[in-house]
Amino acid sequence: MSKIHVTTTVNGEPAEFLCEPQESMLDVLRDTLKLTGSKEGCGSGDCGACSITLDGRLVCSCLMLGVEAEGHSIGTIEGVARGDELHPIQRKFLEHAALQCGFCTPGLIVAVKALLEKNPNPTETEARFWIAGNLCRCTGYDKILRAIMDAAAELRGEVAA
Amino acid sequence: MNFVANKSDLKVVGTRPVRPDGMDKVTGKAQFGADLTLAGTLVGKIKRSPHAHARIVAIDTSKALAIPGVKSVITAADIPDIPSEEAFVGEGPTNFRDQSLNCIARDKVLYEGHAVAAVAATSSAIADAALAAIEVTYEVLPHVIDVEAAMAEDAPILFEGMITQGVDPKPTKASNIVKKVAFGHGDWQAGMAEADVVVEGKYDTAAVHQAYIEPHACIASVNPDGQTTIFASSQGQFMIRQYTAKILGMDIADIRVTPAEIGGGFGGKTIVYIEPLAVAMSRQAGRPVKIVMTRDEVFRASGPTSGGTIEVKIGAKKDGTITGAYAMVKLQAGAFPGSPVAPACMCAFAMYDLKNVMAEGYDVVSNRAKVAAYRAPGAPISTFAVESVMDELAIKLGMDPIDLRMKNAAKQGTKASYGPVFPVIGFEEVLEAAKAHPHWTAPLGPNQGRGVATGFWFNIGGESSASVFVNEDGSVSVVSGSPDIGGSRASMAMMAAEVLGIPYEKVRPIIGDTAQIGITGVTGGSRVTFATGMATTQAAERAVDELKKRAAMIWDISPDAVDWKDGEAVPAGANAGGFDPLPLAAIALKAAKTGGPINAEVSINAQGAGAAFGAHIADVEVDPETGFVKILRYTAVQDVGRAIHPSYVEGQIQGGATQGIGWALNEEYIYDKNGRMDNAGFLDYRVPVASDLPMIEAVLVEVPNPRHPFGVRGVGEVPIIPPMAAIGNAIKAATGMRLVSLPMSPPKVRAAFDAAKG
Amino acid sequence: MPTISIPSSLRRQFTGGMTQLEVEATTFRRLILELERRFPGLGNQVEESMAIAVDGEIFQDAYSLQLKAGSDIVLIPKIAGG
Are B480 and B492 spatial neighbours (Cβ–Cβ below 8 Å)?
Answer: yes
User: Is the same domain home to B401 and B485?
Assistant: no
Query: What average pLDDT does the structure give for chain A?
Result: 96
Q: What does the alpha-carbon distance between residue B667 and residue B679 come to, in Å, rounded to a whole number?
A: 10
B-chain CB neighbours of C79 within 8 Å are: 343, 458, 460, 525
Q: Inspect the interface and report whether the beta carbons of B605 and C56 lie closer than 8 Å.
A: no
Q: How far apart are the first and last CA of chain A?
A: 53
A-chain CB neighbours of B652 within 8 Å are: 100
Domain boundaries, chain C: 3-77
Q: Inspect the interface and report whether the beta carbons of A103 and B683 lie closer than 8 Å.
A: no
C-chain CB neighbours of B421 within 8 Å are: 53, 55-56, 72
User: Is the same domain home to B410 and B501?
Assistant: no
Assess whether pLDDT exceeds 90 at residue C19: no
Assess whether pLDDT exceeds 90 at residue B352: yes
Max distance between CA atoms of chain B, in angstroms, equals: 91
Q: Minimal Cα–Cα distance from B699 to chain C, Å?
A: 22
Dump pLDDT digits (tens) for A107-157: 999 999 999 999 999 999 999 999 999 999 999 999 999 999 999 999 999
Using pLDDT thresholds of 50, 70 and 90, give the confidence band for residue A1. Answer: low
Question: How many interface pairs between A and B have CB atoms less than 8 angstroms apart?
Answer: 180
Averaged pLDDT, B554-563: 95
Predicted pLDDT of residue C60: 83
A-chain CB neighbours of B212 within 8 Å are: 101, 103, 137
**Which residue, B606, B637, B671, sits at the end of a domain?**
B606
Are B234 and B245 spatial neighbours (Cβ–Cβ below 8 Å)?
Answer: no
**Which residue, B585, B606, B627, sits at the end of a domain?**
B606
Angle at C29 between CA C27 and CA C33, to 5 degrees: 115
A60 strand-pairing partners: A51
Interface of A with B in 122-161 (CB under 8 A): 125, 127-129, 131-145
Of B462-471, B508-517, B571-580, B625-634, minimum mean pLDDT range = B571-580
Query: Which residues, at least 6 apart from A60, have a Cβ–Cβ distance to it below 8 Å?
Result: A26, A45, A48, A50, A51, A133
Query: Which residues, at least 6 apart from B465, have a Cβ–Cβ distance to it below 8 Å?
Result: B480, B481, B512, B517, B518, B519, B520, B532, B535, B601, B602, B603, B604
Q: Which of A93, A97, A135 sits opposite B213 (nearest CB)?
A: A135
Four-point Cα dihedral B297, B302, B303, B307, nearest 10? 70
User: Is the same domain home to B394 and B478?
Assistant: no
Query: What average pLDDT does the structure give for chain B?
Result: 96
B-chain CB neighbours of C82 within 8 Å are: 91, 210, 266-268, 270, 373-377, 524-525, 716-717
C-chain CB neighbours of B376 within 8 Å are: 81-82
Q: Which of B262, B264, B691 sits opposite A128 (nearest CB)?
A: B691
Of A65, A64, A68, A143, which is closest to residue A102 (Cα–Cα)?
A143
User: Is the same domain home to B413 and B466?
Assistant: no
Chain A's closest residue to B211, CA to CA, is A137
Count of domains forming chain B: 2
User: Phi-psi region for residue B292, left (φ > 0), alpha (ψ -120 to 50) or beta?
Assistant: beta
Q: What does the alpha-carbon distance between residue B270 and residue B286 come to, in Å, rounded to a whole number?
A: 28
Dump pLDDT digits (tens) for B85-111: 987 776 567 899 999 999 999 999 999
Of A85, A105, A92, A81, which is closest to residue A155 (Cα–Cα)?
A92
Q: Minimal Cα–Cα distance from A19 to chain B, Å?
A: 13
User: Is the same domain home to B408 and B489?
Assistant: no
Question: Any contact of B with C, at least 3 CB pairs below 8 A?
Answer: yes
Helices B237-248 and B96-103: angle between axes, nearest 10 degrees? 90
Q: Inspect the interface and report whether the beta carbons of B647 and A96 lie closer than 8 Å.
A: yes
Q: Inspect the interface and report whether the beta carbons of A135 and B31 lie closer than 8 Å.
A: no
In a domain, B277, yes or no: yes
Class of CATH domain C3-77 = alpha beta
Q: Inspect the interface and report whether the beta carbons of B526 and C75 lie closer than 8 Å.
A: no
Is A145 strand, coil or helix? helix
As a whole-number percent, the residues of chain B with pLDDT over 70 amount to: 99
User: Is the same domain home to B567 and B476?
Assistant: yes
In a domain, B634, yes or no: no
Q: What does the alpha-carbon distance between residue B299 and residue B337 come to, in Å, rounded to a whole number?
A: 19
Dump pLDDT digits (tens) for C23-71: 888 898 999 999 999 999 988 888 888 888 888 888 888 888 888 888 8
Predicted pLDDT of residue B472: 96
Question: Any contact of A with C, at least 3 CB pairs below 8 A?
Answer: no
Predicted pLDDT of residue B3: 64
User: In three state form, how does the secondary structure of A103-130 look?
Assistant: CCHHHHHHHHHHHHHHCCCCCHHHHHHH
In a domain, B434, yes or no: no
C-chain CB neighbours of B266 within 8 Å are: 82
Q: Inspect the interface and report whether the beta carbons of A141 and B658 lie closer than 8 Å.
A: yes
Of B509, B507, B444, B423, which is closest to residue B473 (Cα–Cα)?
B507
Please provide residue B269's backbone torsions phi and psi, each rounded to the nearest 5 degrees: -110, 40
Of B533, B504, B569, B476, which is closest to residue B12 (Cα–Cα)?
B504
Predicted pLDDT of residue B91: 59
In a domain, B327, yes or no: yes
User: Is the same domain home to B285 and B408?
Assistant: yes
Query: Domain residues for B227?
Result: 143-422
Averaged pLDDT, B397-401: 98
Are A30 and A66 spatial neighbours (Cβ–Cβ below 8 Å)?
Answer: no
Q: Inspect the interface and report whether the beta carbons of C81 and B607 lie closer than 8 Å.
A: no
Averaged pLDDT, A22-37: 97
Assess whether pLDDT exceeds 80 at residue C82: no
Averaged pLDDT, B659-684: 98
Are B448 and B734 spatial neighbours (Cβ–Cβ below 8 Å)?
Answer: yes
- Interface check B343 vs C, CB under 8 A: yes
Assess whether pLDDT exceeds 80 at residue A161: no
Q: Minimal Cα–Cα distance from C48 to chain B, Å?
A: 7
- Interface check C12 vs B, CB under 8 A: yes
- Interface check C27 vs B, CB under 8 A: no
Predicted pLDDT of residue B362: 98
In a domain, B196, yes or no: yes
Query: Which residues, at least 6 apart from B497, have a Cβ–Cβ distance to it below 8 Å?
Result: B12, B476, B503, B504, B506, B507
Q: What order do you get walking across the sheet with C50-54 strand by strand?
A: C20-22, C3-5, C72-77, C50-54, C57-59
- Interface check B460 vs C, CB under 8 A: yes
Q: Inspect the interface and report whether the beta carbons of B421 and C55 lie closer than 8 Å.
A: yes
Angle at A135 between CA A129 and CA A136, to 5 degrees: 115
Assess whether pLDDT exceeds 70 at residue B675: yes
Q: What does the alpha-carbon distance between residue B564 and residue B500 come to, in Å, rounded to a whole number?
A: 8
Q: Inspect the interface and report whether the beta carbons of C57 and B607 lie closer than 8 Å.
A: yes
B-chain CB neighbours of C27 within 8 Å are: none
Q: Inspect the interface and report whether the beta carbons of B716 and C62 lie closer than 8 Å.
A: no
How much is the ipTM here?
0.98
User: Is the same domain home to B200 and B318?
Assistant: yes
Q: Minimal Cα–Cα distance from B345 to chain C, Å?
A: 11
Assess whether pLDDT exceeds 60 at residue B189: yes
Q: What does the alpha-carbon distance between residue A99 and residue B465 come to, in Å, rounded to a whole number?
A: 26
Which domains does chain A possess? 4-79 (3.10.20.30), 88-155 (1.10.150.120)
Q: Minimal Cα–Cα distance from B235 to chain A, Å?
A: 11
Chain B's closest residue to C7, CA to CA, is B183
User: Is the same domain home to B394 and B517?
Assistant: no
- Interface check C53 vs B, CB under 8 A: yes
Q: Which of A20, A101, A133 sits opposite B485 (nearest CB)?
A: A101
Using pLDDT thresholds of 50, 70 and 90, give the confidence band for residue B505. Answer: very high
Please provide residue B653's backbone torsions phi and psi, each rounded to the nearest 5 degrees: -70, -45
Interface of B with C in 474-533 (CB under 8 A): 524-527
Assess whether pLDDT exceeds 80 at residue B758: no
In a domain, B515, yes or no: yes
B717 is catalytic: yes
Q: Inspect the interface and report whether the beta carbons of A101 and B647 lie closer than 8 Å.
A: no
User: Is the same domain home to B265 and B387?
Assistant: yes
CATH code: domain of residue B349: 3.30.365.10
DSSP letters spanning B120-149: EESSHHHHHHHHHH-EEEEEE-----SHHH
Of B43-52, B151-160, B364-373, C14-23, minimum mean pLDDT range = C14-23
B625 burial type by CB count under 10 A (0-12 exposed, 13-18 middle, 19+ buried): exposed
User: Is the same domain home to B467 and B359?
Assistant: no
In a domain, B182, yes or no: yes
Q: What does the alpha-carbon distance between residue B707 and residue A90 come to, in Å, rounded to a whole number?
A: 38
User: Is the same domain home to B188 and B314?
Assistant: yes
